[in-house]
């Protein structure tokens, strides 16, 4: 009887622990999830909006809408989004596929500041670079 009571109590406690772990969401990740808007400068300049989301399987993703000061704007889907504490890294392919834009930002409350670079897929070298700032909306 005592053994059965012990096993039931142990099972109940383990079950509560699993439920609590499943109910938690990574708070640091959540700080970056949402809509961001700002400006970028450097070898190219303009305005952007970013949307970072977490899907049902907890995978991070999102989109970027870029409006350069000169030229046509575009929308891109991130191939990678990673959040590590206050550091956010994102990457997407340029329209046409000749390069990948890599972005790295540091969160500071509802603001972020970072760098971007275009990496040529053929040569694996940075062909353009700059900085960006933005705020969460």
pTM of the model: 0.78
Banded model confidence at residue 30, pLDDT cuts 50, 70, 90: confident
Domain residue limits at 37: 27-136
What per-residue confidence (pLDDT) applies to 92? Answer: 97
| Chain mean pLDDT for the chain | 85
Q: Stretch 61-72: mean pLDDT, rounded?
A: 95
Provide Rg for the chain, Cα atoms.
21
Which CATH number does the domain housing residue 100 bear? 2.40.128.120
Q: Does residue 43 lie in a domain region?
A: yes
pLDDT, tens only, 84-115: 999 999 999 998 888 999 999 999 999 999 99
Q: Is 118 helix (H, G, I), strand (E, B) or coil?
A: strand
pLDDT at 20 exceeding the cut of 60: no
């Amino acid at each position: 009887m005592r053994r059965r009571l012990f096993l039931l109590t142990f099972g109940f406690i383990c079950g509560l622990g699993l439920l609590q772990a499943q109910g938690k969401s990574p708070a640091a990740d959540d700080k970056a999830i949402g809509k961001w808007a700002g400006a970028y400068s450097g070898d190219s300049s303009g305005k952007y909006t970013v949307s970072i989301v977490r899907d049902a399987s907890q995978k991070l993703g999102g989109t970027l809408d870029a409006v350069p000061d000169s030229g046509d704007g575009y929308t891109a889907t991130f191939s990678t989004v990673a959040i590590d504490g206050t550091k956010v890294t994102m990457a997407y392919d340029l329209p046409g596929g000749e390069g990948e834009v890599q972005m790295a930002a540091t969160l500071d409350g509802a603001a972020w500041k970072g760098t971007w670079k275009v990496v040529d897929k053929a040569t694996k070298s940075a062909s353009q670079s700059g900085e960006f700032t933005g705020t969460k909306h």
